[in-house]
Chains A and B, each alone.
Chain A
């Protein structure tokens, strides 16, 4: 069984600056992996590489065994939840209209959504638990509800692989936790999940594996194995305090005292 996502020695440069340096990473079918790292670590770029929107300067990417920019209609098997910031919350659309957009990719050009698409959109909304909000304007939803709506939009395409970019930004902790639990239930349906986040401590209770990146892959493995003080300090490149509660260290304070490690390491 080949992995759903496979990156081999991927190098990416954007505008002459290195963004990803030699990343090798495999995500197996049905796995729930979180990608963590500081701002500017290339987390979003990594997702864009998997989506086929950024082509690596060096190295190889395979998604479902194919280069992602050659997936064509197969791209509909990838569900994507982008960062919420780029979206105008006052846009005149109902929740169900937004969810229906998840079907656009598999419809292709010009064709309009039909009854099967509407049914899929409804089901996706029910699955994320906000079926009752279908006809509300998207702008009236709370942060947590809106995130569920965007998740439903990705799920409406019935994806085999789900990519999420900081899905819990601006969502309160309780709502974030129930959002992660929801992702676990989606994973149980056999969907492979890759989620970019900065919510290290909490997320590690839900995911199978954590990939820590800071342009390079720092570590990749089971949360309790990889989330060590050393790995986190290396990734963030600054002194940080971690509380160990349970098995996984929880980052509490990040001192912004400059504490640069040698570039050669």
Chain B
């Protein structure tokens, strides 16, 4: 039977395409700003929020949203105050948030499978309301990028210049990291917290091998993200293997090919 015959597969493919586009586009900023570790940090930190929401009987996405946004702005605040280095702040925040999540979920009997699902994605878990949330989050991210295109470009390229021109560097940094946070929340269901970090880096890094124009880089990276997630989902369906790792390994392989092609 074709993969499109299953309603869960249709939902997964639509959600997956949205994630691919969002992570691909946001990933360009992550890669150019050297934020790779921050993306991973926010993704893991979201997990603490998931656990709290589950304990409170809320939709886990709200917990993830709250926690990842808190961590995003926490990182900006900590690094701007200058007391601790950025990566130290992330290291502490994400490890403790994750530990909190594992500890709390341990208190809820029968939640172990879901824990695994949030870490590595669970394609069967994409329900109709998740699809609505995916469309909304993708919309917010792309409207954000379109509206503040010039501001985000400036803060990514030259924060000193942004400040000198009167733009609030901290708020812009926080805005960019908020886009990362939204992308992470969006991806939790399908690829999971651990693997979204890869989606934030690999498509952008692959596109960067071919394009040296910021605007085209955004478009190509988003397109690569869509293609990789969709292809990964279909491959995993036919091979009957977990989709998250399939997607990540497929994008990593494509990056390898791109790198080799450029070396030539």
- Closest Cβ of chain A: how far from B152's Cβ, in Å? 11
- Closest Cβ of chain A: how far from B156's Cβ, in Å? 8
Q: Complex formed: what's the CA distance from A137 to B212 in Å?
A: 7
Tell whether A87 pairs with B163 under 8 Å between CB atoms, given A92-B212, A97-B214, A113-B150: no
Residue with the greatest number of chain B CB neighbours at <10 A, chosen from A71, A92, A107: A92
For residue A11, CB closer than 8 A to chain B, the reply is no
Tell whether A80 pairs with B161 under 8 Å between CB atoms, given A75-B166, A92-B211, A92-B217: yes
**B216 to A, closest residue via Cβ:** A92
Tell whether A105 pairs with B160 under 8 Å between CB atoms, given A112-B149, A112-B150: no
Kindly identify, within residues 81 to 136 of chain A, every residue whose CB is under 8 Å from any CB belonging to chain B.
Answer: 82-83, 86-88, 91-94, 97-98, 101, 104-105, 107, 109-110, 112-113
Return chain B residues, CB-CB under 8 Å to A78: 164
For residue A262, CB closer than 8 A to chain B, the reply is no
B-facing mask of A52-85, CB < 8 A → 1, else 0? 0100000000000000000110011010101100
Return chain A residues, CB-CB under 8 Å to B211: 92
For residue B208, CB closer than 8 A to chain A, the reply is yes
Tell whether A104 pairs with B32 under 8 Å between CB atoms, given A53-B163, A110-B148: no
- Classify the secondary structure of A's interface with B: mixed
Q: Is the CB of A101 within 8 A of B154?
A: yes
**B214 to A, closest residue via Cβ:** A92
Return chain A residues, CB-CB under 8 Å to B212: 92, 137, 139
Interchain Cβ contacts within 8 Å, total number: 71
Kindly identify, within residues 156 to 201 of chain B, every residue whose CB is under 8 Å from any CB belonging to chain A.
Answer: 157-167
For residue A51, CB closer than 8 A to chain B, the reply is yes
- Select which of A76, A86, A139 is within 8 A of B158 by beta carbon: A86
What bracket does the count of chain B residues touching chain A fall in? 20 to 34
For residue B132, CB closer than 8 A to chain A, the reply is no
Q: Is the CB of A82 within 8 A of B160?
A: yes
For residue B82, CB closer than 8 A to chain A, the reply is yes
- Closest Cβ of chain B: how far from A88's Cβ, in Å? 7
**A112 to B, closest residue via Cβ:** B150
Q: Complex formed: what's the CA distance from A187 to B162 in Å?
A: 25
Return chain B residues, CB-CB under 8 Å to A82: 158, 160-161, 164
**B213 to A, closest residue via Cβ:** A92
Residue with the greatest number of chain A CB neighbours at <10 A, chosen from B149, B159, B212, B214: B212
- Classify the secondary structure of B's interface with A: helix
Return chain A residues, CB-CB under 8 Å to B261: none
- Closest Cβ of chain A: how far from B124's Cβ, in Å? 39
Q: Complex formed: what's the CA distance from A53 to B153 in Å?
A: 21
- Closest Cβ of chain A: how far from B168's Cβ, in Å? 10
**B157 to A, closest residue via Cβ:** A91
Q: Complex formed: what's the CA distance from A51 to B162 in Å?
A: 12
Return chain A residues, CB-CB under 8 Å to B86: none
Return chain B residues, CB-CB under 8 Å to A83: 160
For residue B1, CB closer than 8 A to chain A, the reply is no
- Closest Cβ of chain B: how far from A109's Cβ, in Å? 7
Q: Is the CB of B213 within 8 A of A94?
A: yes
Q: Complex formed: what's the CA distance from A86 to B156 in Å?
A: 11
Tell whether A104 pairs with B160 under 8 Å between CB atoms, given A75-B165, A92-B211, A110-B147: no
Return chain B residues, CB-CB under 8 Å to A104: 150-151, 154, 162, 165, 167
Tell whether A105 pairs with B166 under 8 Å between CB atoms, given A82-B158, A92-B208: yes
Q: Is the CB of B165 within 8 A of A86?
A: no
Q: Is the CB of A87 within 8 A of B148?
A: no
Q: Is the CB of A86 within 8 A of B160?
A: yes
For residue A15, CB closer than 8 A to chain B, the reply is yes
Q: Complex formed: what's the CA distance from A86 to B155 in Å?
A: 12
Tell whether A53 pairs with B157 under 8 Å between CB atoms, given A109-B151, A113-B150: no
Q: Complex formed: what's the CA distance from A162 to B44 in Å?
A: 45
Return chain A residues, CB-CB under 8 Å to B153: 101
Q: Complex formed: what's the CA distance from A78 to B217 in Å?
A: 32
Q: Complex formed: what's the CA distance from A158 to B264 in Å?
A: 44
> 10 more A-B contacts (CB under 8 A) besides A82-B161, A105-B164?
A75-B164, A75-B166, A82-B164, A83-B160, A88-B32, A91-B214, A104-B150, A104-B154, A112-B149, A113-B150
13 contacts between A and B (CB under 8 A): A72-B166, A75-B164, A80-B161, A82-B161, A86-B159, A92-B212, A92-B217, A93-B214, A97-B214, A104-B162, A109-B151, A110-B148, A153-B161
